[in-house]
Chains A and B, each alone.
Chain A
Amino acid sequence: MSPPDSWGRFPRVEQQARPLVWRSDALPSGERSLLPHGLGRSYGDSCLNAGGTLLLTSGLDRLIDFDPTTGVVRCEAGVSLDTLLRLCAPRGWFLPVTPGTKFVTVGGAIANDVHGKNHHRSGTFGRHVRRFELLRSDGSRRMCSAEENPDWFGATVGGLGLTGLVTWAEVQLVPIRNPFVVQETVPFENLDGFFRVSRESEADHEFTVAWVDCLARGRKLGRGLFYRGNFAPSQFERLPLVKSHLSHGSGLAVPMDLPAFCLNRLSVAAFNLLYYHRQRGRPSRHLVHYDPFFYPLDAVHGWNRIYGSRGFLQFQCVVPHATARDAVKEVLERSARGGLPSFLSVLKTFGDLPSPGWMSFPRPGITLAMDFANRGEKTWRLVEDLDRVTREAGGAVYPAKDARMSPESFAAYFPQRERFASYLDPAFSSSFWRRVNPVSLPLPSLEGRGDGAVPPASLLALR
């Protein structure tokens, strides 16, 4: 079995993989540290364990129970959101919260306490998890919920897979009347425009998110398209139906790593320009099936390979409302100036619904996510700069999208980390965890990074 990569395909590390088959089985024991691994949709090293063992949960993919009257579903932790949707959508239920890909497991969604386009309404995934079983390396099994073992619940939701293995979980779904979403697309001319449309949209729209043209500068800085939507009612007005050319199962796939020249400043610029102007400056209203609405990227399998064999870095931060305008502006300016611009940049407002997870990333404010092809030192410096801007603005960076934040940043972003640390499973660890807690182990600069992609020494000194 070839050891899995993370979605950003950076770093590449040496590790063992052990498939799990039955939720009643004991965890393997041995000297190597363990880390659960779902579908590897985390970008950096939080789903990797250099020198250790990954517990592959893809075999824990059984459904346990689904009650179509209450919308409560119970399943093993390796069940994908895709499987849940196939089960529940035809019966009038939907995921309470979903990330931008349905190819993540329930265990992975809990461990990163994922958020979706409805964070302002529904908070994180963890808020909708009723309970789960946590299996520890000492063989103990704990039922965790708001009532039973609430501290283990709080540590494990957003707990990065480090508190033990979630074997199964119970999730409360939400009712829908049909599988279509009424989607509105509203262009905005700059960052102030984004804030305005976002404010106007939140009260009446369940789902909101914005795509930003990250090449626009000056007065147009932060221009983009705002998407907002609600599930359609059972009887709805006639609207133009958007047929997705790329639906799931179309079989479109990126067959191999694309050479670096396919993705350059010009092609990114052309893409962004075309994308923005497709809208011709006018708002529009459409009916869209949930699949292309929530998962546009899933239509192209293996799209992460367009970044070539050196992989890419994602950067996702959240900054509090008070500092948001200046911080987002600065991040956009710096990324437009420095190196290769981001292909897809996404802005969204997080609401103030708290998560039960101590280490959960979402918090009230504005979140911005960007992709950067890994071009070595230049990219690393840029992302380190963006990290510093985030830190100074009192924000946080998302571990699920990170391959490089410093221990100091991590400490600043996650004030509950010490309380969390006492709930770690002693046999569990990850490349991410060792990187952001370098006291316990050496820095990961020796952990088999692919050539040409080694973080420069100057950067390590920055930490």
Chain B
Amino acid sequence: MKKVIVLGATSAIAQATVRLLAARGASLYLVGRNAENLEAVARDASTRGAPKVEFRALDLNDCEAHASLVERAWQALGGLDGVVLAHGVLGDQDESQRSWAAAELVLRTNFLSAASLLTELANRFEAQKAGTLVVISSVAGDRGRQSNYVYGASKGALSVFLQGLRNRLAKSGVAVVTVKPGFVDTPMTAHVPKNKLFASPEQVARGLLKAADARKNEVYVPGFWALIMLIIRSIPEPVFKRLKL
């Protein structure tokens, strides 16, 4: 990945990924909501060695704007060969249960806007028969749990969408990499008490790029989540529905 668009570039995982990409000499197009913060990430990236960094402040929930956004990024970097899609919200399960508006926002941000952007980008990558799409999903999408099924559903839908996209793009030589982090110590989880299962954004970013380099299909980062989720997925539903998870 030498010309990369990063969606949700001010998120902690994206920032850590941007640093690694910058050090490798990749050109970057950064998208996020807050222009001032985006500029801080952009300057960090160019000081660390990215030959070209551009950024654009945009609310990605505005799906109408996606086509022109991708076009601009394409122009700015003279084409794209990599995508890191990292935007997303955790939401609040209780609120999502009380109010559809809250639930819809989670689904819109994590799934609909991602699907819209990926449609735009996948078509271009398919046409040029090259490129790598790296998308941050979540272990939460592997099985719905009462404590966060709205977030889980948005990420589950995203994972399934990516499966289909991978299936479609395989013949064009475009890699679709689904990254499933477990708990990550970021501002998004600042309110959650930390334990040994938490990984740092840097750790996730390294795992993400390793998977992208190897053109992996689906990876759990850190890897031990593969085992945890295997167990969680294999609990029979009659038992699972009684668990407090």
Q: What is A's interface to B at a CB cutoff of 8 Å?
A: 1-2, 19, 21-24, 59, 62-66, 76, 87
Contacts and interface: CB of A to CB of B under 8 A. Distances in A.
Contacts of A59: 187
Contacts of A21: 187
Interface stretch (B43-51, B156-164, B210-218): B43-51
Contact of A65 (B36, B41, B43, B194): B43
Contacts of B37: 22, 24
Given A1-B194, A19-B187, A19-B190, A24 B36 contact: yes
Contacts of A2: 194
B43 A62 contact: yes
Interface string B27-71: 000000010110011011001100000000000000000000000
Contact of A63 (B34, B36, B48, B187): B48
Nearest to B15: A62
A65 B44 CA distance: 8
Interface residues of B, number: 12
Contacts of B187: 19, 21, 59
A421 to B, nearest CB: 33
Contacts of A23: 40
A63 B47 contact: yes
A87 B187 CA distance: 26
A22 B10 CA distance: 10
A1 B190 CA distance: 8
Given A2-B194, A21-B187, A87-B47, 18 more contacts: A1-B194, A19-B187, A19-B190, A22-B36, A23-B40, A24-B36, A24-B37, A24-B40, A59-B187, A62-B40, A62-B41, A62-B43, A62-B44, A63-B43, A63-B44, A63-B47, A64-B44, A87-B48
Closest 5 CB pairs of A and B: A62-B44, A63-B47, A24-B36, A63-B44, A64-B43
B47 A64 contact: yes
A87 B45 CA distance: 12
B29 to A, nearest CB: 18
Contacts of B34: 22
Nearest to A67: B47
A184 B58 CA distance: 58
Interface string B188-225: 00100010000000000000000000000000000000
Contacts of B48: 63, 87
A21 B185 CA distance: 13
B164 to A, nearest CB: 35
A21 B194 CA distance: 18
Contacts of B190: 19
B47 A65 contact: yes
A364 B47 CA distance: 38
Nearest to B10: A22
Contacts of B44: 62-64
B42 to A, nearest CB: 10
